[in-house]
Structures are given as structure tokens and as C-alpha cells.
């Protein structure tokens, strides 16, 4: 039986990697991938904590639900990135700074 702490460590590591990718990458796709990392870390936590709810399988079900949602979110995000690219001819988030004052 793998202790819970391992799951948690892996999940924290995944989250930190994802966070790093989101904050440091110069490519929108890579940022998206970072987000997926963080999402998967959260899902991993769901599954891990699901062992305390064996009867209703709440954690597992919620993980499935989140995966489906993540897939939809990725689809939408990619579409946005595609539109951003056609508009700016670029997907570097540091260049797209029209929100500045």
C-alpha cells in the first residue's frame, strides 16, 4: 500500500512544476501545458483522497468529472490561442500587453 504522503508529494511536485511553467514560459502552449499540470495535480489529490470514501467513490467520480472539464477547457483555450495568434501573429504572453496602462 503506497502511503498517502507519496501521492501528496507527487501532487505538490506536479503543481509546482505546472506553476513554474505557467509563470516562466514564453509560449502560450507551454503555459497551457503548465495549467494542465496543475490541474492533474489537483485530480491526483482527488483520487488519493478517494480512498476515504470507498462507499460512494466521490473522489474518483469528481476526478473523472474534472478530467472532462479540463478537456473542454483545453479545447476552449486552444481556440483562444489560435485566435490570439491570428490577431497578433504571436503567442508570447509578454508581448501581448495591451492591458497595460
Partner 1 sequence: MPLLTFFINVFVPGKFTRSGFCAIASIAISLLCSLLIFIAMWNQPFIHVQTNWFTIGSWSLNVGILLNNLSVLMLPLVSGIALLVHIYSTKYMQGDPYLHRYWAYLGLFCFSMLGLVIADNLLLIYICWELVGFSSYLLIGFWFTRNAAVQANKKAFIMNRLGDIGFLTGIMILFSQFQTLDVISLFGEKGLVGNAIVTGGVWTSGLHHMPAGWLTFAGLAFFLGAVAKSAQFPLHTWLPDAMEGPTSVSSLIHAATMVAAGVFLLARIYPLFNDTVLIVIAATGAFTAFMAGTIALTQNDIKRILAFSTISQLGFMILAMGVGASASSLFHLGTHAFFKCLLFLGAGAIIHEMAHLKEKTGLDYDPQDIRNMGGLRKYMPVTFVTMAIASLALIAIPLTSGYLSKDAILIESFEWAEGKGGWYRLVPYSAMITSWLTAFYISRLIFKVFFGKFRLKEKVGLHHVHEAPPAMKYVLVVLSLFCLFPVFSLNPFMFEDAWVIQGFPQADNMTRINAFHTVVPAAVNLISVFLIYLCFLWYGSNKPAPDFSKNGLFKFSQQQWFFDKAYNTVFVAGVLSFSRFLYQFDLIIVDGIVNLFGTIGRGFARISDWFDRNIIDGLVNLIGYLAGKLGKLIRKFQTGRLQQYLVTMLLIILTLFIYKYYTAAI
Residue (18 or 59) nearer to partner 1, CB: 18
Verify binding: residue 101, partner 1, rule CB under 8 A. yes
| 93: contact with partner 1 by CB under 8 A | yes
Stretch that binds partner 1, among 15-23, 38-46, 56-64, 66-74 (CB under 8 A): 15-23
DSSP string, 31-83: HHHHHHHHHHHHHHHHHHHGGGGTTTTHHHHHHHHHHHHHHHHHHHHHHHHHH
Measured between alpha carbons, how far is 80 from 59 in angstroms, rounded to an integer? 31
Please, what is the minimum distance in Å from the beta carbon of residue 91 to partner 1? 12
Amino acid at each position: 500500500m503506497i502511503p498517502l504522503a507519496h501521492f501528496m508529494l507527487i501532487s505538490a511536485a506536479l503543481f509546482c512544476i505546472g506553476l513554474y511553467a505557467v509563470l516562466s514560459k514564453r509560449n502560450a502552449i507551454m503555459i497551457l501545458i503548465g495549467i494542465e499540470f496543475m490541474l492533474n495535480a489537483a485530480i491526483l489529490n482527488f483520487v488519493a483522497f478517494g480512498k476515504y470514501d470507498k462507499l460512494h467513490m466521490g473522489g474518483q467520480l469528481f476526478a473523472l468529472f474534472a478530467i472532462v472539464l479540463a478537456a473542454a477547457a483545453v479545447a476552449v483555450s486552444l481556440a483562444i490561442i489560435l485566435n490570439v495568434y491570428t490577431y497578433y501573429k504571436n503567442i508570447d504572453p509578454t508581448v501581448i500587453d495591451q492591458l497595460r496602462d
